[in-house]
Amino acid sequence: MNMLHTVNKSPFENSSVTSCISMCAKDNSILFIEDAVISVMKATKFTEMIESSLKDFNMYALKPDLEARGLSLDNVIEGVKIVGYEEFVDLTTEHDSVQSWL
């Protein structure tokens, strides 16, 4: 099943991001929103995990949430797609179902 996972918590705060990545089926998509957008920054202790997961999942980060937190788009890990709310809507309709990791 082609599922979209949304995660909204920073990996420094709880285990939602790591749980999502470990439970997520191959070729599923993960959208990082709200505080979770910090997951896709370069040079953090989670960078390697995200980079190595990119071969298995499509990864997206919500641009307005990156910007609201002062996170530079230049520092986003290569391969992670930066999207707006419009693409957020497209992702939810293009996938068969949506799982919110709360």
User: Footprint of other proteins on this chain (CB under 8 A)?
Assistant: 6, 8, 33-35, 64-65, 84-86, 88-90, 92-93, 97-98, 100, 102
Task: State the pairing for strand pair 97-101/3-7.
Answer: parallel
Distance CA 64, CA 17 (A): 19
In the complex, the smallest distance separating the C-beta of residue 6 from other proteins, rounded to whole angstroms, is: 8
In the complex, the smallest distance separating the C-beta of residue 85 from other proteins, rounded to whole angstroms, is: 4
In the complex, the smallest distance separating the C-beta of residue 63 from other proteins, rounded to whole angstroms, is: 11
